[in-house]
Chains A and B, each alone.
Chain A
């Protein structure tokens, strides 16, 4: 906690650049939403979904991604740490590697993104004509937790690559930011093997698409069995277990081979 407080005051002391940062970060977050709005200026529907319906997916994605980025997004730096050998300093401290990396720089500016994501989701849910039931409220909470966990594990998994492949460069972005892009839109707009790989193989379909279908009470245009929506978060949790294991193996790999 002291680590955390130190970070907050250290960052807040650079007031001007902090203000600029906060402002630009808000705009950066709004971009995804802005992009969707611009697209709907041109078209009436995306994959058969109206703007109001699509916004539920946008909101779920925005909040889940921002919250995951806030909590574990820093892990992207492991690449830098492995590269520069600074991970050694982390390994000799009496704390877990993961918590240390995450606490080293808590970006409060990323917190603003979560707030914005929550706002988008709130507005989307309010305007989407959802027939609220207890089950749907539960599903929403459950879906969000699943989504955060899922994106968090994608961050961990892509960062773990650095243990084996130091010069992996921006390959992780294809799955973190690429994944966010994927789940922002209804998955029926993608086709063929690409959709199968991302939606089911990697599990991105269960972050926003299936929960949104269940919330909106729509049947899947892809014709899959109903009820998948309700189980979607469970799928996310199951998928999320794997990266944790990968991370552990990765740290052990680093310890045994050095760098």
Chain B
């Protein structure tokens, strides 16, 4: 329809507004969907909080055991902030992920997603942003407040840390979405995706910086992980931005690296989806 004269600004503009409304409506549905699971949300926030205590004490013990009192270049307060903000972000980016899309592919329900005038990835992404926004309110805030209440936390000192952290978190959500989609899309080719799923959990947990800050690793290894894999961009980067671990220029560089990975992986998602649709076998009739 509009593709022929898409270059003409009025037509493009006319298309953008409804497209945005559609996207926003799907995002809203993602938010509402998760708000129906109140009890599971409470349970999840509780579990994140318990792990917050565990990880804080372990990292504080690590710092206490070093000569300088610093662990991986973080002081005690930075470690506390790192852990508690990390426990909150974990749910916002949905690091653990789910096999929901893979299940839809396996059962054939994915056919319904193809029968809508919106690209499936756009639909999934919009819904995931709604989920993420719900998690910001319900899963990020409780652990962060608990950390504030029970420990001495590091509060950012530079004004631009706040917007940079928000940007970095948004990129982390996109990045994590793209990775989860790719892992789920394996189901187009394999019926059992438990293997890739566990590989993903390990990759995201270790290389994302959940189990320990990546700075604890030998420098060359750490740099390699950061540049060669998207994982650090999902947790470690926003957290390092928040605790102002590096010089401002370096922090901006890390966020730029996130942008590169987001573009790369989202492109990958569309290619995979296109190829999958061509070879699609809808199961169950």
Chain B binds chain A: yes
**Chain A residues within 8 Å of B, Cβ to Cβ:** 14, 17, 20-21, 23-25, 27-28, 31, 34-35, 38-39, 41-47, 165, 167-171, 173-175, 178, 181-182, 185, 189-191, 194
Q: 1/0 per residue B45-57: CB within 8 Å of A?
A: 0110011011101
When the two chains form the complex, which single residue of B53, B58, B216 contacts A185, counting CB atoms closer than 8 Å?
Answer: B58
In chain B, what residue has the closest Cβ to A43?
A: B65
A14 to B194, CA, bound (A): 12
When the two chains form the complex, which single residue of A21, A28, A39, A194 contacts B201, counting CB atoms closer than 8 Å?
Answer: A28
When the two chains form the complex, which single residue of B37, B51, B216 contacts A41, counting CB atoms closer than 8 Å?
Answer: B216
Give the chain B neighbours of A34 by CB distance below 8 A: 206
Number of residues on chain B facing chain A (CB within 8 A): 40
Known contacts A46-B62, A169-B44, A174-B51, A24 near B195 by CB under 8 Å: yes
Give the chain A neighbours of B196 by CB distance below 8 A: 20
B190 in the interface, Cβ–Cβ < 8 Å? yes
Name 16 A/B residue pairs within 8 A (Cβ), A-sorted.
Answer: A24-B195, A31-B211, A39-B216, A42-B216, A43-B64, A44-B66, A167-B40, A169-B39, A171-B43, A171-B46, A171-B47, A174-B51, A175-B50, A178-B51, A185-B58, A191-B57
Give the chain A neighbours of B206 by CB distance below 8 A: 31, 34
Give the chain A neighbours of B46 by CB distance below 8 A: 171, 174
Q: With A38-B216, A189-B57, A191-B57 given, can you name 8 additional A-B contacts, CB distance below 8 Å?
A: A20-B196, A25-B198, A43-B64, A170-B40, A174-B47, A181-B55, A185-B57, A185-B58
Known contacts A43-B62, A169-B39, A31 near B205 by CB under 8 Å: yes
Contact B62 A24 (CB under 8 A): no
Known contacts A38-B217, A39-B62, A170 near B57 by CB under 8 Å: no
Taking the closest CB of chain B, its distance from the CB of A164, in whole angstroms, is: 12
Give the chain A neighbours of B53 by CB distance below 8 A: 190, 194
Q: Which of B193-250 contact A (CB under 8 A)?
A: 194-196, 198-199, 201-202, 205-206, 211-212, 216-218
Taking the closest CB of chain B, its distance from the CB of A20, in whole angstroms, is: 3
